[in-house]
Amino acid sequence: MMECIFCKIIKKEIPAHIVYEDDDLIAILDISQSTRGHTLILPKNHVATLYDLTPPQAATIFRQVPEIARAIQAAFHPIGMNLLVNVNQPMQSVFHLHIHLIPRYPADNVTMTFQNNMGKISQDALADIAAKIREQL
CB 41 within 8 A of CB 64: yes
Q: Given CA atoms 95, 99, 49, 88 in this order, what sign does their dihedral have?
A: negative
> How far are the Cα atoms of 9, 40, 102, 137 from residue 82, in angstroms, in the given order?
24, 12, 5, 27
Buried residues in 78-89 as b, exposed as e (16+ CB within 10 A) = beebeeeebeee
Catalytic positions are 98
CB 81 within 8 A of CB 69: yes
